[in-house]
Amino acid sequence: MNANVKHIDCTGEPAVLSEICQKILLEAKSCEFDDDILFGLHLAIEEAFVNAVKHGNHGDETQKVYIEYNVSPEKVEIQISDQGKGFSPEKVPDPRCGDNVYKTGGRGILLMRAYMDHVEYNKTGNSVFMVKYRENTSDRMKKRQ
Amino acid sequence: MDKISPKIVVEYKVFATVVTLTQEKILEDMEITAIEHSIMPLINDADTVKMIINFSNVKFLSSAVLGLLIRISKKIYEKQGQLRLCCIDPKILNVFKITRLDRVFEIYDTQDQAIASFS
């Protein structure tokens, strides 16, 4: 992320998440990202933040969540980190397969990957970096050709 | 007196109990728990349940709501009941498709269609 990155250190209360979400979405809206992208951004931020608090910080809403984000006309980049020991995202079962579809949880990462163009965890697994481009991947590839 | 904001509205129709979610955004655990605590007694207290959950007011939800729907459906099926969902915003319907829950739940475009499916 570049020099325009904004940093937020916050606690894990739902009201805090709501405020941060609104802040990032307002910036994205001012850059004229469309409603579908805003919906996906909102969902991805919600799911990543909730995962950070529930799983990373073990539900302790007083522990810190660190957010870095950058909104530009081309893309929105967001990094959400928690104070936990991390996890292996590849070990999370696919919630679409077999009986997993009847489980009550485990869909957050799938939705983040579905709505964002790039989702990457650090090696420890306590920080996720996500990017949403204004144009989808195939449009960007066509422009490069 | 504080304004009361119910999380659901319940209507008893001839063929089904219709539960309409009233909130535009359903995100927080507290909200989801409140909805769950409102719906579960409707299932527990009935002999057989034919329930429709109407999403016409809902414009945004988190994956935790999908978990709630799974819990509700399991409770209904335990009592040999049936569950239908209706009036789901296209953006939210896409969430059901991504998670393949559109194959788990019977989803109808309108409440009338959902009611007709029971009759």
Residue type, B17: T
Strand-pairing partners, residue A72, are none
**ipTM passes above 0.90:** yes
Task: Name the residue range of residue A17's domain.
Answer: 6-144
Residue A1: inside a domain: no
Residue B105 has pLDDT above 70, yes or no: yes
pLDDT at A4: 84
pLDDT at A138: 62
CB contact under 8 A, A102 and B70: yes
For B54-80, what is the mean pLDDT? 97
- The residues of B whose Cβ lies within 8 A of any Cβ of A are 27-30, 60, 62-64, 66-68, 70-71, 74, 91, 95, 98-101, 103-104
CB contact under 8 A, A102 and B74: yes
Taking CA atoms, A79 is separated from A47, A67, A89, A122, A131, in Å, by 13, 6, 16, 10, 9
For A75-101, what is the mean pLDDT? 96
Q: Which of B25, B26, B63 to mutate to test the interface with A (most CBs of A within 10 A)?
A: B63
Q: pLDDT grade, residue B6 (50/70/90)?
A: confident
For A24-53, what is the mean pLDDT? 96
pLDDT at A14: 86
How confident is the model over A39-67, as pLDDT tens digits?
999 999 999 999 999 999 999 999 999 99
Residue A127: inside a domain: yes
Residue A10: inside a domain: yes
Q: Which residue has the higher pLDDT, B33 or A145?
A: B33
Considering its fold, how many domains does chain A have in total? 1
Sequence ranges of the domains in chain B: 8-116
Name, in order, each residue with C-beta under 8 angstroms of B82's C-beta and a sequence gap of 6 or more: B49, B50, B51, B76, B106, B118
- Please report, for the domain that includes residue A130, its CATH number: 3.30.565.10
Q: Are residues B9 and B112 in contact, defined by beta-carbon separation less than 8 angstroms?
A: no
Question: Is CATH 3.40.50.300 correct for B8-116?
Answer: no
CB contact under 8 A, A111 and B98: yes
